[in-house]
Amino acid sequence: MACPYFYPIARHDAELWQHRRRLPLGDGFTGRCTASSSNGALSDEQMGICNMGYASDCPNLPKDRPADAVHFCIAADKDGIIQVSWVSVKDHASAAHGVLTFDRSSSQWVTRHPHDTLQQMADCYLRTYFSKRGESPLP
């Protein structure tokens, strides 16, 4: 359940998390904050919180926000098509949901999320999925 304002960029090499593979994006990531009250920069401690979501005490989170966290899972991986399901959560209830589709043969998203931050999270989630399976990551 990553923070909906966390824009992940690359795998975080520091061991900030005891069980990295259980993190919402499948691993820990460095990144930046996209909340309007933020300058974007994040400390390691903040990144730990951003990777986890539900950071209600974060000073950058807008009080009136559409979601508290975002969940991802692989809905299907069949016939060269991967479906990544996503759910935005507000007050521990579903606020929005959908499925993003990735075509293995072209190594491209067939359907993308209109919000860049959520799409970037999906990219990182899919990279982690490939990595865990010993497959080549996205281009």
The per-residue pLDDT for 103 is: 96
User: Taking the CB of residue 101, how many other CB atoms lie within 10 A of it?
Assistant: 15
**pTM greater than the 0.75 cutoff:** yes
The per-residue pLDDT for 124 is 94
Tens-place pLDDT, residues 21-71:
777 788 888 899 998 767 777 877 777 788 877 667 788 888 888 888 899
Q: pLDDT tens digits for 5-25?
A: 899 998 887 666 666 677 778
Give every CB contact of residue 31 below 8 A, 6+ residues apart in sequence: 6, 7, 8, 9, 42, 47, 50
Cα 90 to Cα 72: distance, rounded to the nearest angstrom:
15
**Domain segments of the chain as ranges:** 6-52, 69-132
Closest residue by Cα to residue 77 from 126, 22, 139: 126
Q: pLDDT for 90-135, tens place per residue?
A: 988 899 999 999 999 999 999 999 999 999 999 999 999 999 898 8
DSSP three-state, residue 20: helix
